[in-house]
Amino acid sequence: MGKYFYSVCKKHLNTLLTLIFVGFLFLVLRWADTHLDEFTLRIMRTGAVYIVAAVSYDLINGITGQFSLGPNGFMALGGYTVALLMLPLPQKAFVWFLQPQAWPFNSFSFPVTWYFFGLALVLSGVMGALGAFIVGIPSFRLRGDYLAIATFGFGEIIFVLANNLIPLTNGPLGMKGIPELANVYWCFGWAVIATLVVKNIANSSYGRAMKAVRDDEVAAEAMGVNVFRTKMLAFVVSGFFAGVAGGLLVPLITTISPTLFTFTMTFNLLIIIVLGGLGSITGSVITAFGFAIASELLRAVESPMQIGTIRIPGIAGMRMVVFAALLVLLMIFYRQGIFGQSELSWEWILSLPGKVVDKEVAKKWKRDETSS
């Protein structure tokens, strides 16, 4: 019996450890939710949303090797979906004061409950996936970097539409007073789901096909990989989670306007996945969370400073200069990112104590060898 239990444990060790980790994360979140201040919690939630967006972006850019510049567009689709579904009707009447809101959103909203919010999030993911599907079909028919151009264009189209379709989006004024539904559990819950799903895909046969397409499209095709379908799968899944990330971000900051999802968003995500190592999911997770913290810490850069006798006035947007410089330096000196293409796995963590021992054993052997 004990032996059987041991063998089951060993076989499913990774799953077990992941479950323990998720449980532990839940306890930490429960503690944080009651003990930490609103400001810290907000950074944590933003970090979790970035994880969802970055992991999904890494699936298409890092794992499948298709250079997409589209996550801002898909996030916008998701964000507007959730905003339109969750904004209570009285608030809608209040927000659309210049022009009346268009049907059907002027006549219905989801009740502000957690299960309807969950449904709205799934729908926002579906919208993101749909967007990816529509952009993917023409772009992947062609070989080459058309995806970058098409997705960049798509993001811009969404931006222009959001600005001008006033009956639907309220234009540049956006919407405010969206119920603050995206608490830590929602944000981290989706971060865990996105990470696990993308990790499962990446380690599966489908993931291998994606990596094969990244490494050599011609060879992948010759070995029976349906290149078009593989790229579409990666892109649609990526679009789904980008949509969810957008849908989480909006009820986190409680407002939405077109400027929330400009190209800067994609640029930030690009920094995150490159810094984490293109193709490394755990790398993206860690840098995404780190990025959220860093962008708060770097607010200091934007405040007025006194260096000696020189007084520097606060420059808004200085953080982005820092991040841009970081990306340039990264590209020159550290192209691999933190993790390269490797993952932080349970095997690796468990082998850490062993590695120290191994090194000593190896040293001893070397000594014996040289002395004999």
Residues near another protein (CB under 8 A) are: 197, 200-201, 204-206, 208-209, 211-212, 214-216, 218-227, 233, 237, 279, 341
Q: Which residues contact 301 (CB under 8 A, 6 or more apart)?
A: 318, 319, 322
CB of 336 to another protein, least distance (A): 12
CB of 203 to another protein, least distance (A): 8
Cβ proximity to another protein, 251 vs 279, nearer residue: 279
Q: Which of 146, 120, 124, 62 is nearest to 261 (CA)?
A: 124
Cβ proximity to another protein, 17 vs 253, nearer residue: 17
Q: Which of 163, 154, 94, 101 is nearest to 128 (CA)?
A: 154
Cβ proximity to another protein, 241 vs 289, nearer residue: 241
CB of 287 to another protein, least distance (A): 20
Cβ proximity to another protein, 30 vs 355, nearer residue: 355
The CA-based angle 83-287-247, given to 5 degrees, is: 10
CB of 341 to another protein, least distance (A): 6
CB of 174 to another protein, least distance (A): 34
Angle separating helix axes 114-141 and 184-203, nearest 10 degrees? 40
Decide: 60 and 210 in contact? Cβ < 8 Å: no
Cβ proximity to another protein, 40 vs 226, nearer residue: 226
Cβ neighbourhood burial of 293 (10 Å; 0-12, 13-18, 19+): middle
Cβ proximity to another protein, 176 vs 208, nearer residue: 208
Query: If you search the block for the tokens 């503690």, which residue do you land on?
Result: 31
CB of 16 to another protein, least distance (A): 14
CB of 362 to another protein, least distance (A): 19
Cβ proximity to another protein, 209 vs 249, nearer residue: 209
- CA gap 43, 126 in Å, rounded: 26
CB of 202 to another protein, least distance (A): 10
Query: If you search the block for the tokens 């919010």, which residue do you land on?
Result: 117
Q: What is the 3-state secondary structure (H, E, C) of 56-118?
A: HHHHHHHHCCCCCCCHHHHHHHHHHHHHHHHCCHHHHHHHCCCCCCCCCCCCCCCCCCHHHHH
* Buried residues in 41-62 as b, exposed as e (16+ CB within 10 A): bbbbbbbbbbbbbbbbbbbbbb
- CA gap 225, 208 in Å, rounded: 10
Determine phi and psi for 109, rounding to 5 degrees: -145, 155
Cβ proximity to another protein, 214 vs 319, nearer residue: 214
Cβ proximity to another protein, 183 vs 336, nearer residue: 336
226 C-beta neighbours (distance < 10 Å), count: 13
313 C-beta neighbours (distance < 10 Å), count: 7
Strand partners, 306: 311
CB of 52 to another protein, least distance (A): 15
